[in-house]
Amino acid sequence: MKSRSEALVIVANRLPVERPDAATPWKKSSGGLVSALVPVQQAKAGTWIGWGGTADEELAPFRVEGMSLQPVALSRSEIERYYEGFANATLWPLYHDVTGEAIFDRGWWESYVLVNRRFAKAAAQAAPRGGTVWVHDYQLQLVPAMLRKARPDVRIGWFDHIPFPGYEIYSRLPWREQIVKGLLGADLLGFQRRDDAANFLRAARRCAGVVTRGSMADYRGRPIRVGAFPISVDAKELVRLARDCGTLDRAAQIRTELGDPEVVLLGVDRLDYTKGIINRLRAYAELLEEGTVAPPRTVLIQVASPSRERVREYQLLRDELETLVGRINGDYSSVGHPAIHYLHQSFPKEEMAAMYLAADVMLVTPLKDGMNLVAKEYVACRHDEAGTLVLSEFAGAADDLKQAILVNPWDIDGMKTAIRQALDQPSKVGRRTMRAMRSHVFTEDVHHWAAAFLGALQLTTDPDDA
Ligand code: G6P
């Protein structure tokens, strides 16, 4: 066996840095993935390949906070066809089982192939001999096979941050075979839930004639490991933030600003149709109607951070959501006391930690979600062991946070019952369940996730011996 390089190349649609405009300096993006992978990448002297977030921007490789970054440029038309089109108006709805919305456009597919080729080429150039490349998410599913063709000496891992759909849904995709074969270029394919891995293995058998045994797939004589690696948050960093005096003061201030209610409920989501915000608010409206909850004693804060605003479905959802919030507030608010505090904004992590601490009940009720890190962030921040989590059984987090109050977000009566249960839960029971969930989030944090994935990748067959 030849000696292998330690170096790790990360390939993701976005770079781990952002800036509002070219005049502002780059800043590390917040989020668990970035905080988990950046130290690993730095320790292994690797590089991160991704898009800088602006159209037609050709940037030379650069460094920010010790990270080595290699930008991939996307033209305006590629953003429309590859990113907003194929990734977010074809794959995103299909992979979240929203079949009616998925658009199958051949031009978008061509752009997806082209852009994936660009990322694969950049990775092939960046990876040292015998190095490791970790590719991320649904935007880059063709990269593993393209990279393997160019660089058979590197180890390739791919991780799916979103769900992988059942074959009945996946098989509608006109390019189902190409995508499966694109993924089969990897040595290790990681998914959030065991069900996602099983769905992929079935698609691989059906589309590529792969023979599978347990978590192993055999593709043209090459073994590929397929498994579940549930992602998590940087729990220690979150709790450090949540214990900070500034955060504690801000949490108290939020409650004062709300008029010192007895109960604060909170929803925090990207404004996305998979997040189940409409169903959640319908359930809440019925609870207001029947008087179970009433402002100013009970208030709901709904943060809906702006996302993919040029994609039509997101624009339609915003209109629908804001009409609904307006109607509910019109019906149930009084002067100075809105029933719902709706915030179409993104907040820094310090403010999010303060909101989590201020919230008695956290509502995480997506219709379908790969993991949902908001649920884990809430749990990590609650060092006081107070707070109750209502969690959709269709979020990957439900596999890990089993002690939460689990709901089917399609069942409005069930959601009302779950919210009532959260409001009535004796604090002793709440503390016990929160303690159990915190123990899980602190043991299996994002560092554990990255180490488990990279450890499993290093155990795959050495490409030189394959
Ligand atoms: C999800 C995806 C990520 C994506 C993020 C934000 O979490 O799994 O790959 O980066 O949404 O979406 P955006 O389209 O803004 O990158």
Alpha carbon of 215 to ligand 1 centroid (Å): 27
Given the residues 96, 161, 341, 447, select the one marked as catalytic: 161
Q: What pLDDT shows up at residue 466?
A: 67
Indicate the top mutation candidate among 10, 95, 134, 161 to test ligand 1's pocket, ranked by most ligand atoms within 8 A of CB: 161
Residue 137 annotated in active site: no
- Residue 441 · residue 380 · CB < 8 Å: yes
Where are the chain's structural domains?
Answer: 4-232+447-465, 235-443
Q: What pLDDT shows up at residue 170?
A: 98
Residues 9-48 as b/e (b if ≥16 CB within 10 A, e otherwise) read bbbbbbbbbbeeeeeeebebeeebbbbbbbebbeebebbb
CATH dotted code for 4-232+447-465? 3.40.50.2000
12 CA: nearest ligand 1 atom: 9
Q: Is the CB of 382 under 6 A from ligand 1?
A: no
Q: What pLDDT shows up at residue 38?
A: 83
Q: What pLDDT shows up at residue 2?
A: 44
Q: What pLDDT shows up at residue 429?
A: 96
Q: Is the CB of 137 under 6 A from ligand 1?
A: yes
DSSP states of 343-374: E-S---HHHHHHHHHH-SEEEE--SSBS--HH
Indicate the top mutation candidate among 11, 13, 14 to test ligand 1's pocket, ranked by most ligand atoms within 8 A of CB: 14
Residue nearest atom 7 in ligand 1 by C-alpha distance: 161
Q: Is the CB of 162 under 6 A from ligand 1?
A: yes
CATH dotted code for 235-443? 3.40.50.2000
Residue nearest atom 6 in ligand 1 by C-alpha distance: 307
- Residue 233 · residue 446 · CB < 8 Å: yes
Q: What pLDDT shows up at residue 219?
A: 96
pLDDT tens, 391-413? 999 999 999 999 999 999 999 99
- Whether 4-232+447-465 shares its CATH topology with 235-443 is answered yes
Residue nearest atom 16 in ligand 1 by C-alpha distance: 14
Q: Is the CB of 96 under 6 A from ligand 1?
A: no
Q: What pLDDT shows up at residue 1?
A: 40
User: For 169, how many CA atoms within 13 A lie in the half-sphere containing its CB?
Assistant: 20
Give the whole-angstrom CA distance, residue 135 versus residue 116: 11
Alpha carbon of 225 to ligand 1 centroid (Å): 25
Torsion angle of C-alpha atoms 398, 399, 402, 408, degrees rounded to 10: 40
Residue 161 annotated in active site: yes
Residue nearest atom 9 in ligand 1 by C-alpha distance: 137
Q: Is the CB of 371 under 6 A from ligand 1?
A: no
DSSP states of 291-333: TSS-TTTEEEEEEEE---TTSHHHHHHHHHHHHHHHHHHHHH-
Q: What pLDDT shows up at residue 395?
A: 98
- Give the chain's residues under pLDDT 70: 1-4, 32, 466
Count of beta carbons in the 10 Å neighbourhood of residue 245? 7
Alpha carbon of 372 to ligand 1 centroid (Å): 12
pTM score, whole prediction: 0.96
Counting DSSP H helices and E strands in the chain, the numbers are: 18, 18
Q: What pLDDT shows up at residue 465?
A: 75
The strand pair at 27-28 and 47-51 is best described as unpaired
Alpha carbon of 429 to ligand 1 centroid (Å): 35
Give the whole-angstrom CA distance, residue 127 versus residue 153: 10
161 CA: nearest ligand 1 atom: 8
83 CA: nearest ligand 1 atom: 14
Indicate the top mutation candidate among 137, 140, 269 to test ligand 1's pocket, ranked by most ligand atoms within 8 A of CB: 137
